[in-house]
């Protein structure tokens, strides 16, 4: 059958900066899949980025990276579509939100050690991507899917960059970072991906990314994002917040981050989440987080595998 009608499309299940994801049925292999479609009106250079996302993700064959089944470019010239594994579950942001609200079932199922093991799987997926010369540039809890059957999958590689290549749409210049063309938004929107002088999600982006220094981004920029994810796992809040996007970006650039141990202790009295999910952050774990979130790239962990191994030592009681 023609490739463009191989997939029977269903309801929308997610939406991102480049496309929307819908449920679909693969008529050829008789299986459920997820299909990502280009958003209507997306300019040609961003359609190129959509295709690049498909090509990059397809090359990252790792248990913690979402599997790609195929890229369809219809013969009539209509926008391409990307077929992927259909993940039954929720994203990490939703899971952490349920913990923060004290959802009894989630609290019972997700102890801190289990969350730390999940975090290690994210580290391994990123370590593999880095070994293939790919940086994600938009790693955050909502871009990590937690499957109902134990899967941990990094998704949405639309802003990914391959070493030595300058992706379409990357026209940032050092020193011009900001939110040009974007209205100031309140704290909840700082978890959304923005594009313009800054590419990424403000609450999770590295200082060099917040400065708009696209050419300086490397694996250690993703290490910072991993540190931000770990911070939120421990505190149930992102490491950097503010009343507006501009304020968040200024805070990121300055490296103004409250230590997770201090933040948990400070907010403990007014936190509605059960004590089991707001337990104190041990000094060793606190130090791991702050090293990952260091202002200077040279002061962070130098690889995702190194960060993974530090968490392992902590879980084993070695440190």
3-state percent breakdown (helix, strand, coil) of the chain, nearest 5:
45, 15, 40
Tokens 């370590």 label which residue? 127
Q: Catalytic pick from 40, 103, 138, 286?
A: 138
- The sign of the torsion formed by the CA atoms of 66, 188, 287, 135 equals positive
Residue 150 CB partners (closer than 8 Å, separation 6+) = none
Contact assessment for residue 64 and residue 36, using Cβ atoms and an 8 Å cutoff: no
Whole-number Å distance between alpha carbons of 38 and 71: 12
Contact assessment for residue 82 and residue 35, using Cβ atoms and an 8 Å cutoff: yes
Whole-number Å distance between alpha carbons of 137 and 220: 10
Contact assessment for residue 152 and residue 143, using Cβ atoms and an 8 Å cutoff: no
Whole-number Å distance between alpha carbons of 104 and 108: 6
138 is catalytic: yes
Q: Which residues are catalytic?
A: 138
């Amino acid at each position: 059958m023609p490739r463009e009608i191989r997939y029977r499309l269903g309801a929308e299940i997610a939406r991102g900066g480049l496309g929307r994801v819908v449920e679909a049925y693969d008529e050829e292999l008789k299986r459920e899949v997820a299909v990502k479609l280009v958003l209507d009106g997306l300019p040609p250079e961003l359609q190129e980025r959509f295709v690049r996302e498909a090509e990059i993700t397809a090359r990252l064959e790792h248990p913690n990276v979402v599997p790609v089944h195929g890229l369809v470019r219809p013969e009539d010239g209509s926008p391409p579509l990307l077929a992927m594994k259909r993940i039954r579950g929720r994203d990490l942001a939703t899971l952490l939100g349920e913990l923060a609200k004290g959802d009894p079932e989630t609290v019972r199922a997700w102890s801190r050690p289990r969350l730390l093991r999940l975090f290690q799987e994210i580290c391994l997926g990123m370590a593999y991507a880095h070994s293939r010369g790919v940086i994600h540039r938009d790693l955050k809890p909502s871009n990590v899917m937690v499957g109902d059957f134990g899967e941990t999958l990094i998704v949405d590689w639309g802003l990914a960059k391959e070493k030595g290549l300058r992706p379409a749409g990357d026209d940032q210049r050092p020193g011009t970072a900001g939110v040009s063309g974007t209205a100031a938004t309140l704290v909840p929107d700082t978890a959304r991906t923005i594009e313009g002088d800054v590419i990424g999600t403000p609450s999770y982006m590295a200082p060099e990314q917040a400065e708009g220094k696209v050419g300086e981004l490397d694996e250690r920029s993703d290490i910072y994002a991993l540190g931000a994810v770990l911070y939120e796992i421990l505190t149930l809040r992102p490491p950097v917040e503010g009343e507006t996007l501009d304020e968040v970006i200024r805070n990121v650039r300055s490296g103004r981050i409250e230590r997770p141990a201090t933040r948990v202790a400070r907010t403990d009295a007014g936190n509605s989440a059960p004590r089991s999910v707001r337990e104190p952050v041990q000094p060793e774990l606190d130090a791991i987080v702050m090293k990952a979130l260091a202002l200077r790239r040279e002061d962070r962990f130098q690889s995702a595998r190194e960060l993974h191994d530090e968490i392992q030592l902590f879980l084993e009681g070695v440190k």
